[in-house]
Structure 1
Amino acid sequence: MIHFLSIFCLLSSMKTPDHLLKPVDDAAEDDSVLHYTARANRDPVFLVPGLAASGLEYRKKTDSTYKVLWFSISHILPGNWARFVEMMNPIYDPKTDTYSNSPDYDIRPIDYGGMGGVVYLDKTLEWFTKTYENMVNALKEVGYEVKKDLFGVPWDFRTNTINTLEINGEYERFKQLIETSYAINRKPAVLIGHSCGCPFVQHFLLEYVKPEWVQKHIKTFCTFNGPFGGAIMAYHHLSCHAAWIIPVGASVFNKITQKLASIYWMLPNSQAYSPDQVIAEMKNSGEKITFATMNKTWTDTGRDWMAIAASKATSRMEKHNGHPGVDTHIFFSHGKKTASKIIFDDSKPKWWEAEAASVENGDGDGTVPYESLVVPRKWSVPSGKKLEFHEFNDLSHLSIIKDKKVIQELVNIVSRD
Structure 2
Amino acid sequence: MGERGFLFLFATFYTFFIVSAKPDLNPVVLIPGDGGSQFKAKLNKTTTVASYCIKKTNYYYDLWLNLEQLVPFLIDCFVDNMRLEYDNVTRKTHNSPGVDIKIPGFGGTDTVEFLDHSEISLTTYFHNIVKAMVSWGYDRNTTLRGAPYDFRKAPNELHEFLDNLKSLIEETYYKNNNKKVVLLGHSMGNPVTLYLLNHMTKAWKSKFIKSFISLAGVWGGAAKPIRLMISGDNLNVPIVKSIAVRREQRSMPSTAWLMPSDQFWGPDEVLVVAPTRNYTVKDYKQLFKDIDYETGYMMWEDTHKLINPLTAPGVEMHCLHGVNVTTPGVFVYTNKTWQQSYPKTIPDNGDGTVNMRSLLGCLRFAKGQSQPVYHKTFDKAEHMQILNRKDVIQELEKILLPSEPFINKHSGFKDSLN
**TM-score, L = length of structure 1:** 0.84
Q: Report the CA distance shift for 1:383/1:241 in structure 2 as closer, same or farther (over 3 A).
A: closer
**Correspondence 1:34-73 to 2 at 5 A:** 39-60=22-43, 65-73=59-67
Cα offset, 1:163, TM superposition = 0.7
1:175 corresponds to: 166
1:188 aligns with 2:171: no
1:301 corresponds to: 291
How big is each residue's C-alpha offset from its partner over 1:131-162, in whole Å with a ceiling of 9 and x where there is no partner? 1111000110011111111001111112x212
1:409 aligns with 2:395: yes
Whether contact under 8 Å (1:275, 1:290) holds in the other structure is yes
Residue identity over aligned pairs, in percent, reads: 27
1:250 aligns with 2:239: no
Name which of 84, 93, 96 aligns with 2:78.
84
Q: Report the CA distance shift for 1:84/1:240 in structure 2 as closer, same or farther (over 3 A).
A: closer
2:280 corresponds to: 290
1:74 aligns with 2:60: no
Cα offset, 1:74, TM superposition = 2.5
Partners of 1:340 and 1:288 lie apart in 2 by 14
Partners of 1:238 and 1:354 lie apart in 2 by 11
Partners of 2:21 and 2:150 lie apart in 1 by 33
Partners of 1:242 and 1:147 lie apart in 2 by 34
Structural RMSD (CA): 2.1
Partners of 1:323 and 1:258 lie apart in 2 by 30
What SS class does the counterpart of residue 390 from structure 1 fall into?
strand
1:310 corresponds to: 300
Cα offset, 1:379, TM superposition = 2.6
1:192 is aligned with what amino acid? L
1:156 is aligned with what amino acid? D
What SS class does the counterpart of residue 182 from structure 2 fall into?
strand
Cα offset, 1:279, TM superposition = 0.8
2:184 is aligned with what amino acid? I
Number of equivalenced pairs: 372
Structure 1: tracts of 5 or more residues without a match: 1-36
1:216 corresponds to: 207
Larger Rg computed on CA atoms: 2
Whether contact under 8 Å (1:57, 1:108) holds in the other structure is yes
Cα offset, 1:400, TM superposition = 1.4
Name which of 316, 319, 328 aligns with 1:327.
316
Q: Report the CA distance shift for 1:47/1:288 in structure 2 as closer, same or farther (over 3 A).
A: same
Partners of 1:153 and 1:81 lie apart in 2 by 27
1:161 aligns with 2:154: yes
Partners of 1:48 and 1:236 lie apart in 2 by 26
1:14 corresponds to: none
1:54 is aligned with what amino acid? S
**Correspondence 1:92-241 to 2 at 5 A:** 92-124=86-118, 126-158=120-152, 160-166=153-159, 169-185=160-176, 186-207=178-199, 209-241=200-232
Cα offset, 1:170, TM superposition = 0.8
How big is each residue's C-alpha offset from its partner over 1:44-88, in whole Å with a ceiling of 9 and x where there is no partner? 101111101111112247966422110112223465333322220
Partners of 2:39 and 2:325 lie apart in 1 by 30
Structure 2: tracts of 5 or more residues without a match: 1-19, 45-55, 407-418
How big is each residue's C-alpha offset from its partner over 1:351-378, in whole Å with a ceiling of 9 and x where there is no partner? 5431243000011101111111101222
1:170 is aligned with what amino acid? F
What SS class does the counterpart of residue 373 from structure 1 fall into?
helix
Cα offset, 1:408, TM superposition = 1.2
Whether contact under 8 Å (2:82, 2:96) holds in the other structure is no
2:414 corresponds to: none
Cα offset, 1:250, TM superposition = 1.4
1:391 aligns with 2:377: yes
Whether contact under 8 Å (1:47, 1:152) holds in the other structure is yes
Partners of 1:203 and 1:231 lie apart in 2 by 18
**TM-score, L = length of structure 2:** 0.84
2:323 is aligned with what amino acid? H
1:271 aligns with 2:263: yes
Q: Report the CA distance shift for 1:400/1:38 in structure 2 as closer, same or farther (over 3 A).
A: farther
Whether contact under 8 Å (1:268, 1:314) holds in the other structure is no
Whether contact under 8 Å (1:231, 1:268) holds in the other structure is yes
Partners of 1:363 and 1:38 lie apart in 2 by 45
Choose 64-73 or 265-274, whichever is displaced more: 64-73
1:50 is aligned with what amino acid? G
Partners of 1:224 and 1:64 lie apart in 2 by 39
2:53 corresponds to: none
Partners of 1:241 and 1:68 lie apart in 2 by 23
- Higher relative contact order (CA closer than 8 Å, sequence separation 6+): 1
Choose 356-365 or 102-111, whichever is displaced more: 102-111
Q: Report the CA distance shift for 1:64/1:150 in structure 2 as closer, same or farther (over 3 A).
A: farther
Q: Report the CA distance shift for 1:124/1:245 in structure 2 as closer, same or farther (over 3 A).
A: farther
Partners of 2:231 and 2:282 lie apart in 1 by 19
Partners of 2:303 and 2:218 lie apart in 1 by 13
How big is each residue's C-alpha offset from its partner over 1:314-348, in whole Å with a ceiling of 9 and x where there is no partner? 222314x2220000111111101111100012x24
Partners of 1:171 and 1:134 lie apart in 2 by 26
Whether contact under 8 Å (2:366, 2:372) holds in the other structure is no
Whether contact under 8 Å (2:262, 2:282) holds in the other structure is no
